C-alpha cells in the first residue's frame, strides 16, 4: 500500500475551484493562491511517486458550512446557488466522500490529480 498525501485547496469561502476560474474583478489574489496549491499538488506528486507516495487534491466549490452564516451576508448560500450549474451548495459530507475515495485503494493509480467538487462551476 502506498503512502498518501491529500491537499485540500479549501478555504473558508467555499471558493477553491477559483484556481481555474480566475475570479476577475473580485478575488484574483485568492484564485492565484489556489492555483499555487494545484501546482504544488502536481509537483509533489511527480517528485514523490517513485517513493510510493501519492499526492492528490480536492478543490471544493461552495460548501454549506456555518462559515456562511457567520459571514455577515444574510442568505449568502441562497444568493450564490444560481451561479452553480447543479443549483446548490455541496454538503460537507459530499466533500468528505471525495476525500475518502482519494485515500482509498480505489484511487491507487491516482497521483497529481486535483478533483474539482464544485457542482459544475
CA distance 16 to 9: 6
For 69, 74, 81, the CA distances from 114, given in Å and listed in that order, are: 28, 31, 23
3-state secondary structure of 63: strand
Catalytic, out of 13, 30, 88, 121? 30
DSSP assignment, residue 88?
A: S
- Concerning whether 109 is annotated as a catalytic residue, the answer is no
Contacts of 114 (CB under 8 A, 6+ apart): 9, 19, 38, 41, 42, 56, 57, 58, 59
Residues forming the active site: 30
Amino acid at each position: 500500500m502506498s503512502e498518501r498525501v491529500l491537499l485540500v485547496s479549501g478555504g473558508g469561502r467555499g471558493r477553491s475551484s477559483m484556481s481555474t476560474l480566475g475570479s476577475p474583478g473580485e478575488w484574483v489574489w485568492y484564485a492565484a493562491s489556489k492555483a499555487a496549491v494545484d501546482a504544488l499538488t502536481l509537483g509533489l506528486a511527480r517528485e514523490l511517486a517513485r517513493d510510493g507516495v501519492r499526492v492528490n487534491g480536492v478543490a471544493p466549490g461552495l460548501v454549506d458550512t456555518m462559515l456562511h452564516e457567520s459571514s455577515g451576508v444574510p442568505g449568502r448560500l441562497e444568493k450564490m446557488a444560481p451561479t452553480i450549474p447543479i443549483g446548490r451548495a455541496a454538503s460537507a459530507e459530499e466533500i468528505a466522500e471525495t476525500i475518502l475515495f482519494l485515500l482509498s485503494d480505489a484511487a491507487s493509480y491516482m497521483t497529481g490529480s486535483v478533483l474539482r467538487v464544485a457542482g459544475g462551476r
